[in-house]
């Protein structure tokens, strides 16, 4: 086990923001990234995205970003 000085961990909130991420994913932050803002910048390079909802910000990993059929704000076709 390696001990790392993690300032903040940004983990995926899952496709709906209510369920756990099926991949239990977290952004692999660069060693120099100590704030949520910096870690999210690292994540964007890997395809992570954020979704703004009332009251909070959801972090979505590349897998959940494409799992849109379960998201409440996405209309069913
Ligand atoms: Zn996810």
Q: How far is the CA of 36 from the centre of ligand 1 (A)?
A: 17
Name the domain count of the chain: 1
Domain that holds residue 50: 1-77
Q: Which backbone phi and psi does 62 adopt, to 5 degrees?
A: -55, -35
Q: Tens of pLDDT along 20-58?
A: 788 888 998 888 888 999 999 999 999 999 988 888 888
Cα distance between residue 43 and residue 66, in whole Å: 15
Q: Is the pLDDT of residue 3 over 90?
A: no
**What's the full length of the chain, in residues?**
77
Confidence of residue 72 (pLDDT cuts 50, 70, 90): low
Q: How far is the CA of 68 from the centre of ligand 1 (A)?
A: 11
Q: How far is the CA of 65 from the centre of ligand 1 (A)?
A: 7
Please state the pTM of the whole predicted model: 0.70
Q: How far is the CA of 4 from the centre of ligand 1 (A)?
A: 23
């Amino acid at each position: 086990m390696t001990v790392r000085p993690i300032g903040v961990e940004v983990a995926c909130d899952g496709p709906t923001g209510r369920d756990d991420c099926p991949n239990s994913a977290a952004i692999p932050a660069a060693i120099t990234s100590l704030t949520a803002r910096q870690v999210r910048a690292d994540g964007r390079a890997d395809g992570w995205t954020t979704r703004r909802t009332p009251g909070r910000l959801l972090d979505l990993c590349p897998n959940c970003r494409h799992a849109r059929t379960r998201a409440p704000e996405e209309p069913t076709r």
